[in-house]
Structure 1
Amino acid sequence: MPRRRSAWLPDQHGAWAMLTVPFLAGTLPAPRPGWAHAALFAAWLLGYAAVFHGQQWLRLRRVARRRPDAAARHVRPALVPGAACAVLGVPVAAAHPWLLPAAAAAAPFVAVNTWYAWRGRERAVANGLAAVVPACAMLLVAARLGGMPAAAAWRPALACLLYFAGTVPYVKTMIRERNSRAYRRVSVAYHAAALAVASCLSPWLAIPFAAYLARAAVLPGRSLRPPVVGALEIACSAALLATLVPVFGGR
């Protein structure tokens, strides 16, 4: 049974934090969080699982033509969460029709991710950045759903974008490009710029973003195992959420 469940759950651990933190950062400070947030959050996660397995089906249909079972095992994990996503999402969209153009705005980014998956290049930097944008934009969706004005929501949304975009080059320096000095320089330069921008959004954001810069400068080259890298990023994501909610919750 655990093996069967793991076959249905996408193993992209960083993606779960990227899906969760912006949504909660838009929901928890909102004046009127409610049932629609719970339904939309569940639909959001289920939709991600469905898209992930659909993309894997496309990829394996292309690269594993001699093993049709390799692609076939992703069919049910795509269709069942996709159907559940529709069951939960349609009533919310019916009550809030503005969610439909918001979903349409995410479609080009999903198309980019799908193309990279089909080509077997999910680890490309552009693919990672394309995934970050709609995930962080969900903060704006959750905030509006809860009655938070856009003027108050764009700052935490930008903070999420700054952090999660930075994880793309940083994780490269820790795993696949651990020996690349060019990647390290790009990562450190990006995090220094992100610290400056985040500090303008709120002085309190300088605290976590200074820590993000320090990890980008110090940790590469220390041969940390991927589970340790993932655990550190979960802690960094939690620190961002813990900062955003009180800082922007009263606005």
Structure 2
Amino acid sequence: MKKYIPNQHGAWAMLVLPFLFGVASSQGQYLHIPLFLCWLLIYLFSFPLLQGVKTGKFRRYAQPMKVYGLLLLPFVVYLIIAEPVLLWFVLPLVPLFAVNLYYAKTKNERALINDISAILAFCLIIYPVFYVGEGESWRTVTELFLLSAMYFIGTALYVKTVIRERNNIRFYYGSVLYHLLAAVAGMILFPSLIVPLIILLLRAAILPKTGITAKRTGMIEIGFSLMLYIAVLVLYF
């Protein structure tokens, strides 16, 4: 199953949270269901593809690519027929995925630029979801895109201070500074969300000092994602 199931636990939150923000900023439509399934299958398909590029062992990952590709195809066809405009939303994903392919090829997937590229790609799903939901305020959805990207980039920095950059004091201070600047920016862009942004700042400053494990970090991060989603529903709208 390691060939079929992505091992990046944090990516599941990036897969779901921007999609939910897109629904929240528009209206729930039946088309959101096949759109989410398509988005999920694209992610699942990209995992063995990137592993094949990284290892050069495409034969090893051919079966999961075939399975996910066959499942994905009817959803892609259906969505294109139902909403041809969705094809335009794919265009900005192409260069971002090209960056992921490059870092997979060079076996440097942990690079921060690669993380940021993947984060932006995940967060961009908010726009087609908003469009399908016949949302009215592009300003609102853009603010939520920025919030999502800002949150997940901060999370990528914070997680590195817990795992791979645990003993890098400069990286730790860089992560804390980023979260501080994010909180300041939040006061301007979405002042109603300043409390959760301060909580995320405290997370970045305190938790790396506790010796928290990688597994527990991933579990707790689900709670922080849920906190941000609830805060947006209750305080932002």
Shift of 1:248: 4.5
Shift of 1:176: 0.3
Aligned mates of 1:140, 1:115 — CA distance in 2: 26
Determine which of 209, 232, 237 is the counterpart of 1:244.
Answer: 232
Say yes or no: does 1:114 pair with 2:114: no
In the superposition, the TM-score normalised over structure 1's length comes to: 0.89
Deviations 1:87-138 (CA, angstroms, capped at 9, x unpaired) = 1122112221221121121110001001111111111100000001121111
Aligned mates of 1:181, 1:139 — CA distance in 2: 35
Aligned pair count?
236
Runs in 1 of length 4+ with deviation above 6 angstroms? none
Report the residue type matching 1:95 in the other structure: A
Which structure 1 segments of 5+ residues have no match?
Answer: 62-67
Deviations 1:156-214 (CA, angstroms, capped at 9, x unpaired) = 11111110111121111000000001101110110011111122222221111111100
Say yes or no: does 1:222 pair with 2:210: yes
Which structure 2 segments of 5+ residues have no match?
Answer: none
Report the residue type matching 1:12 in the other structure: Q
Aligned mates of 2:121, 2:98 — CA distance in 1: 12
Please state whether the residue corresponding to 2:31 is helix, strand or coil: helix
What is residue 176 of structure 1 aligned with on the other side?
164
1:144-159 equivalences in 2 (<5 Å): 144-149=131-136, 150-159=138-147
Please state whether the residue corresponding to 2:109 is helix, strand or coil: coil
Conserved 8 A contact 2:21-2:126: yes
Taking a change above 3 Å as real, the CA distance of residues 11 and 161 of structure 1, as seen in their structure-2 partners, is same
% identity of equivalent residues: 33
Shift of 1:78: 1.6
1:119-198 equivalences in 2 (<5 Å): 119-149=106-136, 150-198=138-186
Determine which of 55, 68, 80 is the counterpart of 2:50.
Answer: 55
Please state whether the residue corresponding to 1:35 is helix, strand or coil: coil
Report the residue type matching 1:20 in the other structure: V
Report the residue type matching 1:146 in the other structure: G
Conserved 8 A contact 2:120-2:149: yes
Conserved 8 A contact 2:96-2:118: yes
